[in-house]
Amino acid sequence: MGILRYNFRSLALGRYVDITVIYPTDNIAFFTDAETEARIKFKPDKKDYYPYTPGMKFQTLYLMHGGSEDDTGPGRFTNIESYVQKHHLMVVTPDVSLSFGLDTEYGLSYEIFLAEELPAVMQSLFASSPKREDNFIAGYAMGANIALGTAIRHPDLYSVCVDISGGIGMTLDTQTLVDELNGDHFPVRMPLYNASFGKAEDLPGSSKDLYACAKYFKKKGVPLPKYYLICGSEEFIRYRVERDVQRLQELNYDVDYILAEGYDHNYDMWDYYLKYTVDELLPLKNKPIYPGE
């Protein structure tokens, strides 16, 4: 695998930001003939190689990290690197802090960063396919919440969204979020929660009201992503995830719910279902994409 931590000045955020990119390069070769191949030292015992070719692209998974992490989290706490190699899938994890992927009330435009700036950077400077069919978004915990919110508000960007344990923050149950913003739990324990979402009375009908956004795009008739929402049977946010599934079903979205029996809100759950995501849920081509394809 190729691993790159890229730091650049984000105009959306007004600061330098880190992004971790995983490139599935172990089965891509520079040699073009049998004679050169025979001289390669320590060549892995693998049968299938694809050639390095100018203009080649990869299907891309935007993988959102959990709360209290940064862009290195998924690579440090799960085995996502090994899971995507065999599928020739590129992974992009941006550092989104504790923003919930929103244009926050404290002035940092994370929604613009994720939905506009980041894809432009990845598809201009990196080998990420620009086609919607080749782009997916997923995450765990807060990152799953970001994935769900970004996919609903920007359905043109991704063909699949996978939400793993995303029961805090963005929700299609508008009244629940209003009640939380009016409560005293998050202002004390997580002040950035309210600072990200803003005033409770401003939420209904806004861009942070996921139900209103989902209803709007469904009525508009635009192509919508396929949604998978996954939650452990022992997770404290199970009711919240299942309510989101219910609201998506009410709007006739294409959504599947997976109840992970015996799993709780931890890395055992997230590691297992990240592997399941790339092995079973994403429509992968399992090869690089070459010019003209």
Shortest CA distance to 282 belongs to which of 60, 14, 112?
60
Confidence (pLDDT) at 168: 85
Tokens for 218? 């469904």
- Residue at 222: amino acid letter: V
| CA contacts within 13 A on the Cβ side of 111 | 18
Dist. CA 151–CA 140, nearest whole Å = 14
Other CB atoms within a 10 A radius of the CB of residue 289 amount to 17
- pLDDT of 136 over the 90 cut: yes
What pLDDT band is residue 189 in, cutting at 50, 70 and 90?
A: confident
| Domains of the chain and any CATH numbers | 2-32+46-281 (3.40.50.1820)
Dist. CA 236–CA 228, nearest whole Å = 19
Confidence (pLDDT) at 33: 67
Using DSSP, state whether 105 is helix, strand or coil: coil
Cα 90–chain centre separation = 12
Task: Tell me what the mean pLDDT of segment 239-252 comes to.
Answer: 97
What pTM was estimated for this model as a whole? 0.95
- Report which secondary-structure segment, H or E, holds 122: helix 118-125
Lowest mean pLDDT among 146-150, 197-201, 227-231: 197-201
Tokens for 277? 């995501």
Other CB atoms within a 10 A radius of the CB of residue 203 amount to 18
Tokens for 65? 């990290």
Query: CA gyration radius for the chain?
Result: 20
Dist. CA 65–CA 143, nearest whole Å = 5
Which residues, 6 or more positions from 275, have their beta carbon under 8 angstroms from its beta carbon? Answer: 79, 83
Task: Tell me what the mean pLDDT of segment 104-129 comes to.
Answer: 96
Dist. CA 190–CA 73, nearest whole Å = 20
- pLDDT of 231 over the 80 cut: yes
- pLDDT of 37 over the 80 cut: no
